[in-house]
Chain A
């Protein structure tokens, strides 16, 4: 295919035009139209020029040929065809670039018919290629020229090569008046139209290119001639087509175009055009470019090749100009520039997305790229919000009303897998809901596109482009839109990932828990503030150091076990253990260790969360202690009750007496308990204990003493002792008549560095007292129970005037608090 579809870059002034100018220029090597030339010479010259021009590595050989006399015009036409055929062979016969062989020959049959053959040893024409209709300019020109010659152009293509043959009927010989035509039978035959036209033109001696007009007319390039004054003397059809008008010969000057402009758009007066310049300067002008405007307004950029023509004496006789239409090239240039701009926009987008650190940044970068690459003034980006509603996040050139009206609209359902872009070329013609069309039209939008934005295969939103005129969305534009959407999706995904990891990082940084990571060798790779706080090491001290730095020597076997589990991809959850701080102290921690995997799922390390559970551990210890204390106290209490009950029966004569004693003693015990419970078992003031026990006898009891805190047990035992004393006084002593009184007093003083405590119960005014005959519970309490606190045993006397009970000892024994955990504390004051 390459053989035919490739552009014939070498065509133009240097190849074909060299032949053209050579044969038609009187001062050139060829002769005028009236004269005949030997075709063999023309072929030789064509071959040698092609060899020179075309930088061809193979050979071009003219095979032995017959001398054939043809007119200059025919020679030029044949030369052009041969030029094309040879050039085609040179370019396409050997796509691999191996040196090829091209042969050219001409033969004349006995009737004067001429056959010219060009053959190569290349790959032949591609399949399906019809040389009679297909092909580029070259093939078209060969066909057009052979038609003009009324010759038969034939192609013989095979894998061994391509042969092009041009068979000319014998009438050519008739045009040879002198030496070449010796066949009299054909001399008088001017039967073909072309021959007649050639002769007719040869009559017009006024045209400096007379005799060549046939050639010029046949050329697909725009050609015209002027006289020395610049008045048009001839133009061909191609020129009329380029200009879009038919100028008047002999009147219009310099150029047949309707209007002329420079490439930058400034008007170009005809008398300053390149042709005018060439005539003034009497030399060819090259390298300029101009734009012809047709009467219908279309503009055709072209390259002019104005060349003055001179006669044999060197006098200028006029000029010829060829206009090469370069609109295709211009279009290609515009398209290239456009393509460059698109590429630049995409590059810029990639660059900006890379730098963007916010959604605004990402969206602005994308909107710039969209507008630049897709050539729209207005654009917008919408994303699904948390509730699944498509909302504007960035836009250019949209009114608030419009955004309000269309926000939430999405052409695709939220979860759709492969949403396709939607292009509305013409809003008026499109199948849109009427309300939407009205809204869109009110915003002066005539065309628009919806491009889905995807992140990880999920639809997250769309971008929109808006045009103020109906817009034909080309394939390139659609591809570009999809590419930008993809880039934007990546940008948003990266941003979201960044934000998520920043959030994660700040959560980790602000966590009270130690969150650290380590590699599979147990080397610390990250260390948060929680870890600094719990373990006392800074991040600089720990990163790069082994995690075993934290492990107390007696737990050295833990880390290998943990690492082993992590290597297997297992988690370690809430493993309670002990770690060592920088200052050497131990801290109770609960560890959760999870394997960290890379993108391909390989375990590369572990993340470790350590929670300081010392407080919880302490609370747990306290809880256990309290439970034990309650257990102990309850059982003790029952044991005390048992003792009270069983001892109360000792020495009692009646069950009734015993019952009364049990009830009153338990009531006293209960009362003291309630008092102590109110004070959370921290102890009680002696004065309060006395007041509580003696309240039934208020008014007959005189109490005197400083505030002294007793431990809970001392308070309980004091209460029991007071109860026994009071019960006895009420039965037999000072409180058994109407006049007796009890005096209770205590004091404390320092003696030899210790607090000395003394307590006294003294009865007065009661009936005469007799010492008890039996030692019961009461005396056991007063003598034995109270003895616990004092080095000196308590003394109870029974003088006749009233009972006297006295204890003296260290105050500390009374206030020392025995707690269940074995500690000793002072009673709370």
Chain B
């Protein structure tokens, strides 16, 4: 269950996910890997948190209910924070805009998720 990953130890990871139970699970996975986790359930919250100092990476649900995640991705990109898409339905238009961001499907294995995020760390 607990996936230790040295690369993530002590890092701050932002989880942008509007489904609390899923956020909870992702949260737990990164906690277990030794990372600090902050989570945002909507765009507004996410944009606020990106401005906090010290974020190392973000996991972004592409489908944020109220709107798409484009402005969140842009802010992350502008701030130099690498991010990974975590999504149930990959939207081609968004993927096109952020070709460098890896994609994890919602049912991805937690260990793989941690590894992918570790891979994008700068």
Interface residues of A (CB under 8 A from B): 628, 631-636, 638-640, 642-644, 646-647, 649-650, 713, 717, 720, 780-781, 784-788, 816, 818-820, 822, 824
Which one of B21, B66, B88, B107 contacts A644 once the chains associate, using CB atoms below 8 Å? B21
Pick 15 A–B contacts, CB within 8 A, sort by A.
A636-B106, A639-B21, A639-B107, A642-B25, A644-B21, A781-B24, A784-B23, A785-B24, A787-B20, A788-B18, A818-B66, A820-B63, A822-B65, A822-B68, A824-B66
- Please measure, in the bound complex, the distance between the C-alpha atom of A631 and the C-alpha atom of B21, giving whole angstroms: 18
Q: For residues 95 through 116 of chain B, which have their beta carbon under 8 Å from a beta carbon of chain A?
A: 105-107, 110
How far is the CB of A814 from the nearest CB of chain B, in Å? Answer: 13
Is A632 touching B24 in the complex (CB atoms < 8 A)? no
**Chain B contacts of A632 at CB under 8 A?**
63, 88-89
**Chain A contacts of B66 at CB under 8 A?**
816, 818, 822, 824
Is B67 touching A822 in the complex (CB atoms < 8 A)? yes
Is B1 touching A635 in the complex (CB atoms < 8 A)? no
Q: Would you call B71 an interface residue if the criterion is a C-beta within 8 Å of the partner chain's C-beta atoms?
A: no
Is A647 touching B65 in the complex (CB atoms < 8 A)? no
Is A649 touching B1 in the complex (CB atoms < 8 A)? yes
Is B20 touching A638 in the complex (CB atoms < 8 A)? no
How far is the CB of A781 from the nearest CB of chain B, in Å? Answer: 8
Is B20 touching A639 in the complex (CB atoms < 8 A)? no
How far is the CB of B114 from the nearest CB of chain A, in Å? Answer: 14
- For B28, the closest partner residue in chain A by CB is A647
Q: Would you call B120 an interface residue if the criterion is a C-beta within 8 Å of the partner chain's C-beta atoms?
A: no
- Please measure, in the bound complex, the distance between the C-alpha atom of A819 and the C-alpha atom of B64, giving whole angstroms: 10
Since A635-B89, A643-B25 are in contact, a sample of 14 more A-B pairs with Cβ atoms closer than 8 Å, ordered by chain A residue number, is: A632-B63, A635-B107, A636-B22, A636-B106, A639-B25, A639-B88, A642-B107, A643-B22, A646-B28, A713-B18, A717-B20, A717-B21, A788-B20, A822-B66
Which one of B21, B23, B25, B105 contacts A720 once the chains associate, using CB atoms below 8 Å? B21
Interface residues of B (CB under 8 A from A): 1, 18-25, 27-28, 41, 63, 65-68, 88-89, 105-107, 110
Is B21 touching A628 in the complex (CB atoms < 8 A)? no
Is A628 touching B89 in the complex (CB atoms < 8 A)? yes
How far is the CB of B106 from the nearest CB of chain A, in Å? Answer: 4
**Chain A contacts of B22 at CB under 8 A?**
636, 639-640, 643
How far is the CB of B46 from the nearest CB of chain A, in Å? Answer: 13
- For A633, the closest partner residue in chain B by CB is B88
Which one of A628, A631, A780, A818 contacts B24 once the chains associate, using CB atoms below 8 Å? A780
**Chain A contacts of B105 at CB under 8 A?**
635
- For B17, the closest partner residue in chain A by CB is A639
- Please measure, in the bound complex, the distance between the C-alpha atom of A713 and the C-alpha atom of B42, giving whole angstroms: 13
Which one of A631, A640, A781, A784 contacts B19 once the chains associate, using CB atoms below 8 Å? A640
- For the residues of A in contact with B, the DSSP-based class is helix
- A-B complex: 6 closest residue pairs judged by Cβ atoms: A818-B65, A635-B88, A643-B25, A785-B20, A639-B106, A635-B106
- Please measure, in the bound complex, the distance between the C-alpha atom of A720 and the C-alpha atom of B22, giving whole angstroms: 13
**Chain B contacts of A787 at CB under 8 A?**
20
How far is the CB of A669 from the nearest CB of chain B, in Å? Answer: 9
How far is the CB of A28 from the nearest CB of chain B, in Å? Answer: 127
- Please measure, in the bound complex, the distance between the C-alpha atom of A638 and the C-alpha atom of B21, giving whole angstroms: 11
**Chain B contacts of A780 at CB under 8 A?**
24
**Chain B contacts of A635 at CB under 8 A?**
88-89, 105-107
- Please measure, in the bound complex, the distance between the C-alpha atom of A713 and the C-alpha atom of B20, giving whole angstroms: 10
Is B106 touching A647 in the complex (CB atoms < 8 A)? no
Which one of B1, B68, B107 contacts A638 once the chains associate, using CB atoms below 8 Å? B107
Contact flag A640-B21 (CB < 8 Å), given A635-B88, A649-B1, A822-B67: yes
**Chain A contacts of B107 at CB under 8 A?**
635, 638-639, 642
Which one of A631, A713, A785 contacts B88 once the chains associate, using CB atoms below 8 Å? A631
Which one of B1, B21, B68, B106 contacts A785 once the chains associate, using CB atoms below 8 Å? B21
**Chain B contacts of A642 at CB under 8 A?**
25, 107
How far is the CB of B102 from the nearest CB of chain A, in Å? Answer: 17
Contact flag A643-B65 (CB < 8 Å), given A632-B89, A636-B88: no
- Please measure, in the bound complex, the distance between the C-alpha atom of A210 and the C-alpha atom of B41, giving whole angstroms: 151
Looking at A631, A632, A639, A786, which has the most chain B CB atoms within 10 Å of its CB? Answer: A639
Contact flag A638-B106 (CB < 8 Å), given A631-B89, A788-B41, A822-B68: yes
How far is the CB of B20 from the nearest CB of chain A, in Å? Answer: 4
Which one of B20, B89, B106, B110 contacts A784 once the chains associate, using CB atoms below 8 Å? B20
Is A646 touching B1 in the complex (CB atoms < 8 A)? yes
- Please measure, in the bound complex, the distance between the C-alpha atom of A717 and the C-alpha atom of B21, giving whole angstroms: 9
- Please measure, in the bound complex, the distance between the C-alpha atom of A492 and the C-alpha atom of B3, giving whole angstroms: 92
- Please measure, in the bound complex, the distance between the C-alpha atom of A642 and the C-alpha atom of B67, giving whole angstroms: 25
- Please measure, in the bound complex, the distance between the C-alpha atom of A339 and the C-alpha atom of B65, giving whole angstroms: 95
**Chain A contacts of B1 at CB under 8 A?**
646, 649
**Chain A contacts of B68 at CB under 8 A?**
822
- Please measure, in the bound complex, the distance between the C-alpha atom of A644 and the C-alpha atom of B19, giving whole angstroms: 12
**Chain A contacts of B23 at CB under 8 A?**
784
- Please measure, in the bound complex, the distance between the C-alpha atom of A650 and the C-alpha atom of B67, giving whole angstroms: 34
- For B22, the closest partner residue in chain A by CB is A639
- Please measure, in the bound complex, the distance between the C-alpha atom of A824 and the C-alpha atom of B66, giving whole angstroms: 6
Is B63 touching A639 in the complex (CB atoms < 8 A)? no
Is A647 touching B24 in the complex (CB atoms < 8 A)? yes
- For B109, the closest partner residue in chain A by CB is A642
Which one of A643, A650, A820, A824 contacts B21 once the chains associate, using CB atoms below 8 Å? A643
**Chain B contacts of A816 at CB under 8 A?**
66
- Please measure, in the bound complex, the distance between the C-alpha atom of A633 and the C-alpha atom of B88, giving whole angstroms: 8
How far is the CB of B67 from the nearest CB of chain A, in Å? Answer: 5
- Please measure, in the bound complex, the distance between the C-alpha atom of A635 and the C-alpha atom of B68, giving whole angstroms: 17
**Chain B contacts of A633 at CB under 8 A?**
88
- For B88, the closest partner residue in chain A by CB is A635
**Chain B contacts of A784 at CB under 8 A?**
20, 23-24, 27
**Chain A contacts of B27 at CB under 8 A?**
784
**Chain B contacts of A640 at CB under 8 A?**
19, 21-22
- Please measure, in the bound complex, the distance between the C-alpha atom of A642 and the C-alpha atom of B68, giving whole angstroms: 24
**Chain B contacts of A720 at CB under 8 A?**
21
- For B26, the closest partner residue in chain A by CB is A643
How far is the CB of A718 from the nearest CB of chain B, in Å? Answer: 12
**Chain B contacts of A631 at CB under 8 A?**
88-89
- Please measure, in the bound complex, the distance between the C-alpha atom of A719 and the C-alpha atom of B92, giving whole angstroms: 34
**Chain B contacts of A636 at CB under 8 A?**
19, 22, 88, 106
**Chain A contacts of B21 at CB under 8 A?**
639-640, 643-644, 647, 717, 720, 781, 785
Looking at A632, A636, A780, which has the most chain B CB atoms within 10 Å of its CB? Answer: A636
How far is the CB of B115 from the nearest CB of chain A, in Å? Answer: 17
- For A627, the closest partner residue in chain B by CB is B89
**Chain A contacts of B110 at CB under 8 A?**
646
**Chain A contacts of B65 at CB under 8 A?**
818-819, 822
- For A785, the closest partner residue in chain B by CB is B20
**Chain A contacts of B88 at CB under 8 A?**
631-636, 639
Is A647 touching B25 in the complex (CB atoms < 8 A)? yes
**Chain B contacts of A819 at CB under 8 A?**
65
- Please measure, in the bound complex, the distance between the C-alpha atom of A787 and the C-alpha atom of B21, giving whole angstroms: 12
- Please measure, in the bound complex, the distance between the C-alpha atom of A567 and the C-alpha atom of B28, giving whole angstroms: 69
How far is the CB of A807 from the nearest CB of chain B, in Å? Answer: 13
**Chain A contacts of B63 at CB under 8 A?**
632, 820
- Please measure, in the bound complex, the distance between the C-alpha atom of A649 and the C-alpha atom of B106, giving whole angstroms: 20
How far is the CB of B34 from the nearest CB of chain A, in Å? Answer: 17
- For A823, the closest partner residue in chain B by CB is B66
**Chain B contacts of A824 at CB under 8 A?**
66
Looking at B1, B21, B89, which has the most chain A CB atoms within 10 Å of its CB? Answer: B21
Looking at A634, A713, A780, which has the most chain B CB atoms within 10 Å of its CB? Answer: A780
How far is the CB of B95 from the nearest CB of chain A, in Å? Answer: 14
- For A717, the closest partner residue in chain B by CB is B20
Looking at A643, A650, A780, which has the most chain B CB atoms within 10 Å of its CB? Answer: A643
